[in-house]
């Protein structure tokens, strides 16, 4: 029998469904036509978003798949558990995510948050975003933060306003103070950053920002074709002339550490000002004064006259500006720059000043002063932000690590050595972490555990920070009190490390350059000024001046770092940086790490151009090709058997091997799931739980209904009984009163016998139980106080006395 639908049906949903169906058919037809008409080499990439699904995993084939997706505006691709993000060099690319497991930054964040909230794996989770300079790491970190703010189930409105919005604002503020334009990237991060999102009971409760190695040497002057930190250009371009005059700056003046450029793409001072106001940083004029102090110090030069070091006359105005900002004497500031404090070791009470040796020493003292001022201001801003968003109670963390990328310029100095060392440590951790997971997987499969050769990664790290290493020699030269030239440093490095296969020494003994074979390629370094930068020591007399200055905000900024200065006094910058990276690695060890590899399609930084040869090189030196063939990559979620039994029970464990064959592996102590298979288990678990909830609700609703029906029945019977009793009471009272004959004209003083003469009393015994008390019979309980019963129209003498013969029959209480 055919079922006919009602003609009054609303066809809106039908039209919507049919339109979707027609669109799907049309899209499928286009894909089919493209599939039939295109090259077979391209056709094999259709419907593939994970490199592990390729039959041929050669570098050319992997690059071909990513290239195919790149030109389809799909910049994200899975390579097992690692996400590859290709820098598109254009805006508005792949914003839509159709499914939870589609390759996207949001999918990585969702997986990390899922593990964190469900207590899968380690207590903390961390997303490590790595890649070369200019590959889009900071942008990916911002996308991850914004995604967390769009999830109402993990972030309420108060946390969104007080924590996440301030964290987003801190990204733009720290970018102004910590980013600069380099040869490879116009907005390059010159510091590392770990944003720790703090959560408790599945909800975001706070955040904390850790920074690593701000490139302070850039303050004293950037390299050629590069700029200083954005904030200097923003202040000189975005602040009005009158405000600049108040802080002793001018747009017409040429500042040596911040040369004028034709167009600065990141000079929006208004955005930085907006972020500072949102973060409740109100000392904007004071911050401009510190920036002005650094800019004016940069214009001070030194010269030799009559064998004495002096400050030229044309630089005296800048000394005057600096002294006005510091609220100190001009002579004291000049003496601070030209002379150094000498304190004998055995007689510290006797202090004296002596002139600097040469102009270079004066320049180095001035540069160290400028670097210290800017570094203190940067850390003051970070501390101020953390004080507003930090959650002090016990919590778990979801970390997002955005650290500077690998760099290789025409001239590579101390900063590039530190940056590339940090990338070497991260690359070593990435490879060791993946191979350790593969060894655990082999153990669970009862297979022979294969030991992987990681010697080349370890040897490179030992070359940089081992006992006999580049860091060791530079640190030793800083601690030894002797005059050493850059040529001597280069010669010592070459003689000590020439036998290492990853170190390339120059044949010329007077050359200051050497090369290191990094994982990403060979980089040539120049050791000039490396020792001076590594000392990282500000003269004590300068710290004394800053602590005693009348500029209250500057004194507050410097005092915020007083503990760090005392603790790190005498330590080199390389030793501090190594210590901070050791702490970072310890943090990663306590977390499950999710990797995002940001790659560049070409070196020219232009859109719609894919250099396949250059891209294959990135795949290889980033370790993607080495880890791609590891079998455990198929399983992104690992859970212990006892934990699985606690969550899902023991009965389902044996059935999983057959229901999800190929998508789940049950090992000795752990169970390996693909993301889809574990999601399927959770889906059916939620369906089963919903069914159980409905069954429980159905049972209690039936029981509640039955209780209501019983209560209604009892109430109905009680009301009916009450009504019947009331009617019986009325009948009894009426019959009793009708049986009493009233005697008229009775003298009050006559005898009792005469008063009761000819009285006929009729009584009716009610069917209800009676209460008998002190000579009273009643339907209700007898009162404790004496009760008198008067039934009269006139006063009856001795009416309170009942005849003895009438007592057994009783008298109904009318009250």
345-354 pLDDT tens trace: 545 555 677 8
Give the pair of three-digit tokens for residue 153: 């189930």
- Tell whether 137 is in a known binding site: yes
- Tell whether 136 is in a known binding site: yes
- Token pair 């990237």 is at which residue? 185
What does the pLDDT look like over 546-594, one tens digit per residue? 888 889 999 999 887 765 655 455 678 888 889 889 999 999 999 999 9
Which residues are within 8 A (CB) of 775 and not within 5 positions of it... i.e. 6 or more apart?
Answer: 802, 807
Helix (H) or strand (E) holding 732: helix 675-738
C-alpha distance across the termini of the chain, in Å: 75
Helix (H) or strand (E) holding 200: strand 192-200
Whole-angstrom distance, CA of residue 668 vs CA of residue 298 = 65
Q: At what angle do helices 540-548 and 330-338 cross, to 10 degrees?
A: 160
Which residues are within 8 A (CB) of 212 and not within 5 positions of it... i.e. 6 or more apart?
Answer: 191, 192, 193, 194, 403, 422, 577, 580, 581, 584
- Token pair 């090259």 is at which residue? 39
Closest CA to 84 of 125, 138, 140: 140
What are the phi and psi torsion angles at 424 (to 5°)?
-65, -45
Specify whether the backbone of 798 is left (phi greater than 0), alpha (psi in -120 to 50) or beta: left
Whole-angstrom distance, CA of residue 434 vs CA of residue 621 = 15
Which pairing describes strands 124-131 and 396-402: parallel, antiparallel, or unpaired? parallel
What residues pair up with 401 in beta bridges, in sequence order?
A: 128, 194
Q: What share of the chain is helix, strand, coil (3-state, %, to 5)?
A: 50, 15, 35
- Tell whether 450 is in a known binding site: no
- Which of 129-138, 157-166, 281-290, 805-814 is most confident? 281-290
What does the pLDDT look like over 450-466, one tens digit per residue? 566 778 888 999 999 98
- Tell whether 332 is in a known binding site: no
Which residues are within 8 A (CB) of 285 and not within 5 positions of it... i.e. 6 or more apart?
Answer: 243, 246, 247
pLDDT grade for 325, boundaries at 50, 70 and 90 = very high
What does the pLDDT look like over 467-520, one tens digit per residue? 889 999 999 888 876 666 788 888 888 889 988 999 998 877 677 889 999 988
Q: Is the Cα dihedral 713, 719, 722, 727 positive or negative?
A: negative
Task: Say which residue, 52 or 30, is predicted with more confidence.
Answer: 52
Task: Say which residue, 79 or 814, is predicted with more confidence.
Answer: 79
What does the pLDDT look like over 422-454, one tens digit per residue? 999 998 898 888 877 777 766 666 565 556 677
- Tell whether 135 is in a known binding site: yes
Give the pLDDT of residue 212.
85
* Residue 305 pLDDT > 90: no
Give the pLDDT of residue 730.
58
- Tell whether 134 is in a known binding site: yes
Length of the chain: 815
Whether the Cβ atoms of residue 512 and residue 527 lie closer than 8 Å to each other: yes
Give the pLDDT of residue 507.
75
Average pLDDT, the chain: 79
Whether the Cβ atoms of residue 156 and residue 203 lie closer than 8 Å to each other: yes
Closest CA to 141 of 426, 404, 402: 402
pLDDT grade for 133, boundaries at 50, 70 and 90 = confident
pLDDT grade for 381, boundaries at 50, 70 and 90 = very high
Q: What is the mean pLDDT of residues 330-358?
A: 75
Q: At what angle do helices 414-444 and 573-589 cross, to 10 degrees?
A: 20
DSSP, collapsed to helix, strand or coil, labels residue 491 as: helix
Give the pair of three-digit tokens for residue 122: 């380690």
Give the pLDDT of residue 784.
61
* Residue 19 pLDDT > 50: no
Closest CA to 204 of 137, 271, 156, 167: 156
Task: Say which residue, 682 or 539, is predicted with more confidence.
Answer: 539
């Amino acid at each position: 029998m055919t079922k006919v639908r009602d003609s009054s049906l609303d066809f809106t949903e039908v039209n919507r469904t049919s339109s979707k169906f027609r669109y799907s058919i049309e899209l499928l037809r286009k894909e089919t036509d493209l599939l039939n008409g295109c090259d077979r080499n391209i056709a094999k990439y259709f419907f593939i978003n994970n490199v592990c699904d390729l039959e041929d995993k050669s570098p050319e084939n992997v690059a071909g798949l990513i290239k195919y997706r790149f030109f389809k505006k799909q910049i994200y691709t899975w390579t097992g558990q690692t996400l590859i993000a290709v820098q598109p060099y254009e805006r508005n690319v792949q914003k839509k995510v159709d499914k939870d497991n589609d390759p996207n930054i949001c999918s990585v964040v969702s997986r990390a948050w899922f593990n964190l909230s469900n207590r899968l794996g380690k207590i903390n989770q961390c997303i490590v975003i790595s890649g070369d300079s200019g590959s889009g790491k900071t942008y990916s970190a911002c996308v991850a933060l914004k995604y967390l703010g769009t999830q109402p189930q993990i972030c309420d409105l108060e946390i969104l306003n007080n924590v996440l919005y301030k964290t987003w604002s801190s990204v733009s503020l720290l970018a102004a103070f910590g980013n600069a334009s380099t040869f490879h990237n116009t907005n390059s991060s010159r510091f590392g950053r770990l944003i720790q999102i703090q959560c408790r009971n599945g909800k975001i409760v706070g955040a904390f920002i850790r920074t690593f190695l701000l490139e302070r040497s850039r303050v004293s002057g950037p390299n050629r074709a590069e700029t200083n930190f954005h904030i200097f250009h923003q202040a000189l371009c975005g602040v009005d002339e009158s405000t600049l005059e108040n802080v002793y700056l001018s747009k017409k003046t040429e500042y040596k550490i911040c040369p004028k450029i034709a167009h600065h793409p990141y000079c929006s001072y208004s955005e930085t000002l907006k972020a500072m106001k949102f973060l409740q940083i109100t000392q904007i004029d004071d911050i401009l004064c510190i920036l002005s102090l650094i800019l004016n110090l940069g214009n001070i030069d030194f010269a030799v006259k009559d064998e004495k070091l002096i400050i030229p006359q044309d630089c005296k105005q800048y000394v005057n500006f600096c002294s006005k900002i510091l609220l100190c004497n001009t002579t004291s500031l000049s003496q601070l720059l030209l002379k150094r404090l000498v304190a004998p070791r055995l007689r510290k009470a006797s202090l004296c000043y002596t002139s600097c040796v040469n102009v270079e020493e004066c320049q180095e003292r001035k540069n160290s002063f400028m670097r210290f001022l800017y570094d203190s201001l940067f850390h003051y801003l970070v501390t101020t932000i953390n004080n507003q968003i930090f959650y002090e109670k016990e919590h778990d963390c979801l970390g997002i690590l955005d650290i500077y990328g690998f760099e290789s310029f025409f001239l590579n100095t101390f900063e590039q050595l530190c940056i590339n060392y940090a990338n070497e440590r991260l690359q070593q951790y990435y490879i060791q972490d993946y191979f350790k997971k593969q060894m655990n997987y082999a153990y669970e499969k009862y297979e022979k555990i294969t030991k992987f050769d990681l010697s080349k990664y370890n040897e490179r790290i030992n070359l940089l920070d081992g006992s006999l290493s580049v860091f060791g020699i530079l640190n030793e030269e800083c601690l030894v009190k002797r005059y050493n030239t850059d040529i001597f440093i280069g010669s010592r490095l070459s003689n000590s490390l020439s036998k290492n296969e990853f170190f390339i020494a120059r044949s010329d003994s007077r050359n200051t350059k050497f090369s290191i074979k990094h994982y990403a390629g060979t980089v040539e370094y120049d050791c000039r000024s490396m020792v001076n930068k590594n000392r990282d020591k500000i003269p004590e007399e300068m710290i004394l001046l800053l602590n005693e200055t009348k500029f209250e905000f500057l004194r507050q900024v410097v005092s915020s770092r007083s503990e760090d200065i005392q603790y790190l006094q005498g330590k080199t910058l390389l030793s501090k940086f190594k210590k901070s990276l050791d702490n970072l690695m310890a943090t990663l060890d306590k977390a499950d790490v999710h990797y995002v590899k940001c790659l560049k399609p070409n070196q020219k930084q232009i859109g719609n151009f894919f250099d396949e040869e250059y891209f294959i090189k990135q795949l290889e030196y980033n370790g993607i090709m080495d880890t791609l063939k590891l079998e455990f990559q198929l399983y992104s979620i690992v859970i212990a058997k006892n934990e699985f039994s606690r969550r899902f029970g023991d009965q389902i464990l044996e059935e999983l091997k057959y229901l999800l064959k190929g998508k789940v592996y049950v090992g000795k102590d752990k169970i390996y799931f693909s993301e889809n298979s574990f999601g399927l288990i959770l889906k059916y678990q939620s369906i089963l739980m919903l069914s159980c909830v409905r069954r429980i609700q159905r049972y209690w609703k039936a029981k509640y209904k039955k209780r209501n029906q019983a209560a209604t029945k009892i109430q109905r019977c009680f009301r009916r009984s009450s009504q019947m009793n009331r009617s019986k009471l009325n009948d009894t009272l009426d019959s009793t009163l009708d049986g009493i004959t009233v005697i008229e004209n009775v003298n009050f003083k006559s005898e009792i016998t005469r008063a009761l003469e000819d009285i006929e009393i009729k009584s009716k015994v009610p069917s209800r139980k009676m209460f008998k008390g002190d000579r009273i019979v009643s339907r209700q309980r007898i009162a404790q106080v004496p009760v008198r019963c008067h039934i009269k129209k006139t006063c009856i003498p001795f009416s309170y006395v009942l005849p003895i013969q009438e007592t057994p029959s009783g008298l109904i209480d009318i009250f």
